[in-house]
Structure 1
Amino acid sequence: MSQSTLRRLLSTARYEVLPTAGIVERIEEYVAPGREITVTASTGLTLEATLSTAEQLQALGFRAVPHLAARMIHGRPELTEVVDRLAEAAVDRIFVPAGDATPPAGGYVGAHDLLVDLSSMAAPFRHIGVSAYPESHPIIPDDVTVQAMWDKRDYATHLVSNLCFDPALIASWVGRVRSRGIELPLVLGIAGKVELGKLARVATKIGVGESTRFLRKNTATFTRMAKPGGYNPRKFLDKIGPVLDDPDMGVAGLHVYTFNQIKDTEVWRRKQLAALGGAEEVSTAW
């Protein structure tokens, strides 16, 4: 991978966090304003936690990206309220996953349903991300996720991929996405500088039922990190370098799953950039 590609991706990398108590203060302490911070939505932490965390981050000068999990929203009236609230907070970017709420809170069974309603509103969002799955979803069949990505392409500005620790699989998957005619920029999901013990502690903060789902969905993370040598994000990026360098693959940026280990991830990112030299970029490609 070229140094210019790595510098660009590390400079513009955005972080994903869970809206647990104290996370805003930790972000403010360790991360400079202007970075894009996405805030997850989960039934254990409530949609209110997601929205209020996003509002606080936006007010502090970060570019907040709340997750609007379709299955957590009761219907168009609540969606309208959420849109108005985010507009008031000057939030202009969102991520729309289906979410895990079972049964759904209302009429939105998946992300596409919410996106259709959203498209008919005077919503302020310039950036709308949707999910992409290099590996099989733990609940949804592969053919359904592939079709969903195709259906959502006209309502979104970019794709955000779920975690995957297999460089060869990522390479083949991105190629297949492009061969299907899906041209949306891809923000590639990678794990940050995460320690196993801290990851387990994060899981305990989001409720017993939610923790079970968290651990099941992130089994690959635990397995990978438990191996000798653990997980090294820089080595992982080097292994997928050809994909990152290839403009036809359309990798516009990095979506770093921090699991709330903000300090460790930000220190790692800055160290990598310092070794590369040059100034950070501040624009967002997607």
Structure 2
Amino acid sequence: MRNKASTAPTLQRLLENARYEVLPTASTEDKVLEHVPRDVAVTVTASPGKGLEATFDLAERLAGHGYVVVPHVAARMVSGRTELEEICARLTGKGISRVFVPGGDAEPAGDYLDALSLLEDLAALGRPFSQVGITGYPESHPTIHDDLTVQSMWDKRRYATHIVSNLTFDPAVIRDWVHRMRRRGITTPLLLGIPGPVDRTKLLTMATKIGVGESTRFLAKNKGTFARLAAPGGFTGESFLEKCAPTLAEPTALVEGLHVFTFNQVAETEAWRRGLLDRLRD
């Protein structure tokens, strides 16, 4: 690893504060139980095809096993404040204190056309969750201008405790985006989104199985990203993290940890994280 001495402390801190994003399939619970330690938080995506019930059901079961879980509450999949109140009561009743609020790819089911409107209602309901994450877009969003994505983070900053960046593979993009965001006065802490190790065959199988999960929708919209993820031998974030380390180490960057898109390759992701931590500690 290049410049190991200088990058190791930052990379070690981020890897120790990593959380895993999983897709709610029939085998996900068993995979998490077998391979993920209880000190790693698990986020559960929401897809229009499966509905929020699949997300909340898995989140509740994992919480029952002692995990810190972060269900995605996709705004466009919630019909309005009445349903949102029911969701809050359901999740907090199971001890779930963290959520992630994307806009979501679904057609609006009711009142919420975007994440901001749902976040405003969460605040009106007394901020029932101690941690609320929102999405950041280092790369251009397929349907939203870059200036609007930064403005959106500014608008949502009062309601969020952290920003989760979507996938990118260019350290320069991360550097410029973080600096631009901080210059704008957005001081919300950041979790850097990276892919775990991805096997081509398994990724294609998962994409076919899930179809409309937010992560795979992202891949479908960003063919260059998909091609790099699906390259023979897969992709791990080691080199990417190493190149990002100078930016991530800046005190003003406020990068608190990693958000790892596992694409349900949970065992491979944890083995990669543990292996990299062991090498950094040597």
Fold shared by both chains (TM-score > 0.5)? yes
- Asked if 1:142 corresponds to 2:156, the answer is no
- Asked if 1:276 corresponds to 2:246, the answer is no
* Moved segments of 4+, more than 6 Å: 208-212
* Cα deviation 1:153-199 (Å, max 9, x = unaligned): 00000110000011111111110000000000010100111112111
Distance in 2, matches of 1:218 and 1:31, equals 29
The range that moved more, 187-196 or 135-144, is 135-144
- Asked if 1:38 corresponds to 2:25, the answer is no
Percent identity of equivalent pairs: 55
One-letter amino acid matched to 1:44:
G
Distance in 2, matches of 1:73 and 1:97, equals 11
- Asked if 1:217 corresponds to 2:207, the answer is no
- Provide the alpha-carbon RMSD of the alignment: 1.9
Number of residues paired by the alignment?
277
SS in 2 for 1:153: helix
Partner of 1:21: 26
Partner of 1:84: 89
TM-fit CA distance, 1:12: 1.3
- Asked if 1:165 corresponds to 2:169, the answer is yes
Distance in 2, matches of 1:213 and 1:6, equals 29
Distance in 2, matches of 1:115 and 1:247, equals 28
The range that moved more, 93-102 or 222-231, is 222-231
The range that moved more, 267-276 or 216-225, is 216-225
Matched-pair contact (CA < 8 Å) for 2:97–2:131: yes
Q: TM-score, normalised by structure 2?
A: 0.93
TM-fit CA distance, 1:250: 1.0
TM-fit CA distance, 1:56: 0.7
The range that moved more, 198-207 or 50-59, is 198-207
Distance in 2, matches of 1:27 and 1:118, equals 29
Matched-pair contact (CA < 8 Å) for 1:34–1:61: no
The range that moved more, 105-114 or 134-143, is 134-143
Unaligned runs of 5+ in 1: 279-286
Distance in 1, matches of 2:30 and 2:232, equals 33
Matched-pair contact (CA < 8 Å) for 1:93–1:128: yes
Distance in 2, matches of 1:208 and 1:108, equals 20
Matched-pair contact (CA < 8 Å) for 2:248–2:255: yes
Partner of 1:195: 199
Unaligned runs of 5+ in 2: 1-5
